[in-house]
Amino acid sequence: EETISSKVDAAIKELQKQLMLKEGEKKGDDKSKSGKEGGEGGAMGTGEYSPEGLQGDIYKYLLSKGMDDTHALGLMANISRESEFRPGVLEKGGGGGVGLFQYTSEPRKSNFLKAVPDYKTNWKGQIDYALKEPGEPAPQWLAMKFSSPQEAADWFMRKWERPEEGIQNTKGPKIHAEYLKSLEKYRTKKGTGGSGSFDFGGMDKGGVGGSVAEYITGDPNTPFGRFDKAGHGTTSNYHDHIGFKDRSTAVRAYNFFKSKNIQVTEFKGFDSVGGHASGSLHYSGLAFDVPGAQWGGSGAIGSRDYSGSAKVRTVLKEFLGGSNAKLAKGGRVTKPTRALIGEKGPEFV
């Protein structure tokens, strides 16, 4: 009896984990209020994030479909607000909303149920349907450029979910902000991903890969990283931002850029970090900026600034690849090739 009981308890805890419930909490304990939304009103999210279980799986699934961090987090903020990541939840108070996105209005609800009849256990099917729902603007949303997950989340809510005005303008954006804020403690934890195996290095920051956690630029032509017109592409403060996953690599990169006669600023330990907040990569000594003013002064943003950013990326690639490495699409290696992997001493591939 004790053996069976322990197995039952373990199974219950695992189910609670998958349903994102705290231990001892029942689904009926949901205290969220019913939303009277014209589109897909439903249970409001708690604003809390956990990389364990379904939330982490959903994030990785969105990235696997080619979605960038900004869109992925924007969509997750909506799911948090609507259903608290419970695929089979029914709207509290009998409002009729179903699923991750709380489909409520007709014929959208009926079309959804017909397309994903097993929605209670098929969260991937729910997401796939939402992103290609006939007559709805999700494809347009995916093609758009957003400066932040908050902007992506609010657009999706207003144009796709279409709640009532009060939720559109105040409650919805506030809950999105609370949820996205809960991600911060996982983003800059020395490039590792908080708890579990879920990696948050570079989340919403234009992660390049390898030792680079962030690359943000004011250049819309960037082939990697994240273009940010509002913060990095302004005429008064055009610059490139580069963050790393460890201090030693950041220091080496800083010195490498200086050796190329490129001005770098706001690197902790070498100069002021400005007004960057505690916990940021700048404050932690893991990031520096490359000011665009060095490319030719101030004024309208144009080819001069973009050429400067392209130079920054060339130097960054050179630093990451080492002096003897060629950055290409890859192919058969026919002789020993020296490459910098991040360990001490030379490595041979």
CA distance 90 to 161: 16
pLDDT value at residue 191 = 37
Instruction: Burial-class residue 63 by CB neighbours within 10 Å (0-12, 13-18, 19+).
Output: middle
User: Residue 239: beta bridge partners?
Assistant: 291
What pLDDT is attached to residue 278? 65
Tell me, what's the pLDDT at 2?
65
Strands 239-244 and 212-217: antiparallel
Q: With 0-12 CB in 10 A as exposed, 13-18 as middle and 19+ as buried, what is 199? A: middle
Return the structure tokens found at 1: 């009896």
The encoded tokens of residue 50 equal 């956990």
What three-state secondary structure class fits 90? strand
Structure confidence at residue 103 (pLDDT): 94
Instruction: Kindly report the pTM of this predicted structure.
Output: 0.47
- How confident is the model at residue 37, as a pLDDT? 35
Residues 69 and 14: their CA atoms lie apart, in Å, by 28
SS3 label, residue 172: helix
- CA pseudo-torsion sign 65, 71, 77, 81: negative
Encode the chain (349 residues) as per-residue pLDDT tens digits. 667 777 787 787 777 766 655 454 444 443 333 333 333 433 344 556 666 568 878 887 888 788 888 898 899 999 988 988 889 888 766 678 899 999 999 999 999 999 999 999 999 999 999 999 999 999 999 999 888 889 999 999 999 999 888 788 888 899 898 888 877 655 544 333 332 222 333 333 455 666 788 888 999 988 878 888 888 988 888 999 998 888 888 898 999 999 999 999 999 888 887 777 666 788 888 899 999 999 886 578 888 999 999 999 999 988 887 533 344 445 566 666 655 555 555 555 5
**Distance in angstroms (rounded) separating the CA atoms of residues 10 and 19:** 14
Please, are residues 62 and 152 in contact by the beta-carbon 8 Å criterion? no
Max CA separation in the chain (angstroms): 78
CA dist 287 and 205 (Å) reads 12
Say how far apart CA 180 and CA 171 lie, in whole Å: 14
